[in-house]
Amino acid sequence: MAGSTALSEASISALTTRLEQENPEAIVRWAIETFGDGVSIGASFGGVTGMAILHMAATLKPDVHVFVLDTDYLFEETHETMRQAVSSLDLTNVQVYKSKLNHEVQAAKHGSALWMRNPDLCCEIRKVEPNRRALAGKTCWLSGLRRDQSEGRASVPIVEWNNKFGVLKVNPLANWTEAQTWDYVVKHEVPYNPLLNQGYTSIGCFNCTLPGVQGRAGRWAGFDKDECGLHTS
């Protein structure tokens, strides 16, 4: 099949209809066989969905491009999960992307604790812009969205064109439940973030993540916000 830029809206619709009937492992295999080195996986090393996708991909292509957005506010447990996963899954092409503004420069330019005043701007600086660099030149983005993660993700398709980053976005586990995802991770002994055993259900930056709150409501407390901007148009 040609690169994702050549896929029409009708082709994408047909693909998502066909792949809806496939299991996530088959979808990951299809993406890697179709787009090869054009595939990129965004790994947060926070949730179990991303860990399952990494395992599925690593068994097929250990050198698949994996990118990590290090916001400078990640939990130490997240860094440790990344180290363990890279080793245990034999991943050979993991690249870390950071904001062009370090903490001090951001504070000088936008004021201290930007995440408490304008979390959308903070996410734009520390996640969205680095994500754009990470996907530059890629054709297929494997993402860890599931429909049961939040109301806003309830209708996420298996395959969609992402205008923001100019790639075909594939959500292999979109129609899996949290329980199915955990079953896979436990069965295959995939490393996962230990904070998930300590009351956290959605793990992002330590300054914007609370334990004991279900789903993505544990992020950006006090704001009408449950997405960082990576998965919104």
- Reduced to 3 states (helix: H, G, I; strand: E, B; else coil), residue 169 is strand
Q: Kindly state the DSSP code that residue 167 receives in the 8-state scheme.
A: E
pLDDT digits (tens, 9 = 90+) for 14-54: 998 999 999 999 999 999 999 999 999 999 999 999 999 99
pLDDT of residue 72: 95
Band (5; pLDDT cuts 50, 70, 90): very low
Crossing angle between the packed helical segments 48-58 and 178-187, to the nearest 10 degrees? 50
Higher per-residue confidence, 50 vs 212: 50
* Unique residue bearing structure tokens 């595939």: 39
Q: For residue range 54-84, list pLDDT tens digits in order.
A: 999 999 999 999 999 999 999 999 999 999 9
Give the pLDDT confidence of 137-169 residue by residue, as tens digits. 999 999 999 999 888 889 899 999 999 999 999
The pairing of strands 140-142 and 167-170 is parallel
Among positive and negative, which fits the CA dihedral 117, 121, 125, 126? positive
Residues 6+ apart with CB under 8 A from 51: 45, 81, 85, 185, 190, 191, 192
Q: CA 185, CA 78: separation in Å to the nearest integer?
A: 16
- The one-letter amino acid code at 208 reads C
Burial environment of residue 221 by CB neighbours within 10 A (0 to 12, 13 to 18, 19 or more): exposed
Q: Which residue has the tokens 């179990």?
A: 48
Q: What is the DSSP string of 72-116?
A: S-B-HHHHHHHHHHHHHTT---EEEEE-SS-HHHHHHHH-S-HHH
pLDDT at site 1? 41
pLDDT of residue 9: 83
Say if residues 54 and 188 touch (Cβ distance below 8 Å).
no
Residues 6+ apart with CB under 8 A from 63: 92, 93
Choose, from 122, 140, 208, 228, the residue flagged as catalytic.
228
Is residue 228 annotated as a catalytic residue, yes or no?
yes
Task: Indicate the range of 147-151, 199-203, 214-218 predicted with least confidence.
Answer: 214-218
Domain map (residue ranges) of the chain? 4-218
Contacts for 218-225: CB closer than 8 Å, 24+ residues apart: 220/115, 220/119, 223/119, 225/119, 225/120
CATH number of 4-218: 3.40.50.620
Q: Which residues pair with 40 in a beta bridge?
A: 65, 141
